[in-house]
Amino acid sequence: MDEMQLLSFAIFIVMGIIGTIMSEKRGRNRIGGFALGFFLGLIGIAIIAVVGEKKIETKKSDIQI
């Protein structure tokens, strides 16, 4: 497992736990809260991947010039 996969897994778990805690405070279903946090983590990973890809493209263009 490389660093990015480990980071992604950690973000999914942490966001799921945060979603569970938030759902418990509001008196809602814990599984639904975990699912909400998991999908928020998935969106966060997608944003990180897009930003990281843009930085890589920028570095490649700097090298070619």
pLDDT at 29: 81
Structure tokens that stand for 52 in this block: 């990281």
Q: Which runs of consecutive H residues, i.e. helices, occur in 1-65?
A: 3-25, 30-64
According to the model, what pLDDT value does residue 56 have?
62
CA-CA-CA-CA dihedral for 38, 39, 42, 43, to nearest 10: -140
Digit-coded pLDDT (tens) for 5-41: 777 778 778 888 888 888 888 887 878 888 888 888 7
∠ CA 48-49-55, rounded to 5°: 90
Q: How confident is the model at residue 62 (pLDDT cuts 50, 70, 90)?
A: low
Range of the domain at 29: 3-64
In whole angstroms, what is the distance from residue 9 CA to residue 26 CA? Answer: 26
- How high is the pLDDT of residue 46? 80
d(CA 31, CA 54): 35
Q: Supply the pLDDT for residue 1.
A: 57
